[in-house]
C-alpha cells in the first residue's frame, strides 16, 4: 500500500514538473496514425494489407536499405543473419546461424516484423509495397520460393516455412521437436 502511494506521489510530482518546465509536446493525430500498426499480421494472413512483392525489386531495395547492416546477400554482418544455413538446425547449431529459413515458423511474420521494425533506426519509412518486395526477396534467398513467385495477401499465408516443424509434435514422443525444450 505504502509503495503504491509512493508511486502515485512520484507520478503526480513528475506530471506537475513536466507542466511547470514545459516538457513534452502533445502528440498529433497524424503521428499516432503513423505509429498505429494495428491490425497485427497473423499467421493466417489476417491483417495483411493489399500490395504485391517481386523478388527482383526486393533485391534492389534490399541493396539500398538493408545490406549495410545485414550483408550483401543476407549473410549477416554486422547485424543478424537473414539468409540461413539449411534446415533443420541441430542442438549444436550456433544461435547466430538461426535465421528466416531455419527458424521462422510463419512467412507472414516477416511482413509484420519488417514493417514494424526495419530499417533499424528508421522504422515506418517503408511502404507496404516495399515490405512485400523485401519479403519476396528474403524468402527467395532462403530457398523458400522461386524467383517469379509473387508475394501478396493471398500467397504469403500459403507459404509453408521449413521451421514450422519446430512447433509441431514429434509423432514418436508426442512432444515438441525432439530436442527443443520449450514448455
Ligand atoms: C542500421 C542497421 C540495420 C538496417 C539498415 C536494417 N536492419 Fe534489420 N536488423 C538490425 C538489427 C540490429 C536487428 C536485430 C534487432 C533485434 O534483435 O531487436 C535486425 C533484425 C532484422 C530481422 C530479424 C532477424 C532475425 O531472424 O532475428 C529482419 C528480418 C530484418 N532485420 C530485416 C531488415 C530489412 C528487410 C532491412 C531493410 C529494409 C533491414 N533489416 C535494415 C539492423 C538493421
Torsion region of 20: left, alpha or beta (phi above 0 gives left; psi -120 to 50 gives alpha): alpha
The stretches of the chain forming alpha helices (DSSP H) are: 2-21, 29-35, 55-65, 67-70, 100-103, 108-117, 128-141
CATH architecture of 2-167: Orthogonal Bundle (1.10)
Q: Is the CB of 116 under 6 A from ligand 1?
A: no
Whole-number Å distance, alpha carbon 34 to ligand 1 midpoint, is 20
Distance CA 177, CA 169 (A): 6
Q: Is the CB of 70 under 6 A from ligand 1?
A: yes
Q: Is the pTM of this model over 0.85?
A: no
C-beta 68 within 6 A of ligand 1: yes
**Per-domain residue ranges for the chain?**
2-167
Give the C-alpha separation, 83 to 98, whole Å: 9
pLDDT tens-digit profile, the chain (183 residues): 556 655 666 666 666 666 678 899 899 998 888 777 777 999 999 999 999 999 999 999 999 999 999 999 999 989 999 999 888 887 788 888 999 999 999 999 999 999 999 999 999 899 999 999 999 999 999 999 999 999 999 999 999 999 988 777 777 777 766 555 544
Q: Give me 15's grid cell.
A: 506530471
**Ligand 1 lined by 125 (C-beta under 6 Å):** no
Amino acid at each position: 500500500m505504502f509503495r503504491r502511494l509512493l508511486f502515485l506521489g512520484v507520478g503526480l510530482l513528475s506530471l506537475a514538473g513536466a507542466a511547470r518546465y514545459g516538457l513534452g509536446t502533445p502528440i498529433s493525430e497524424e503521428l499516432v496514425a503513423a505509429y498505429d500498426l494495428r491490425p497485427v499480421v497473423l499467421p493466417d494472413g489476417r491483417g495483411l494489407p493489399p500490395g504485391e512483392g517481386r523478388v527482383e525489386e526486393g533485391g534492389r531495395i534490399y541493396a539500398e536499405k538493408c545490406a549495410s547492416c545485414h550483408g550483401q546477400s543476407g549473410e549477416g554482418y554486422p547485424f543478424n543473419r537473414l539468409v540461413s544455413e539449411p534446415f533443420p538446425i541441430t542442438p549444436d547449431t550456433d544461435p547466430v546461424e538461426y535465421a528466416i529459413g531455419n527458424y521462422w515458423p510463419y512467412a507472414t511474420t516477416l511482413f509484420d516484423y519488417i514493417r514494424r521494425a526495419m530499417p533499424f533506426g528508421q522504422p515506418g519509412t517503408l511502404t507496404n509495397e516495399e515490405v512485400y518486395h523485401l519479403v519476396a526477396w528474403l524468402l527467395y534467398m532462403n530457398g523458400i520460393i522461386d524467383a517469379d513467385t509473387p508475394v501478396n495477401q493471398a500467397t504469403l499465408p500459403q507459404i509453408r516455412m521449413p521451421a514450422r516443424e519446430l512447433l509441431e509434435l514429434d509423432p514418436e514422443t508426442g512432444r515438441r521437436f525432439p530436442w527443443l525444450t520449450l514448455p
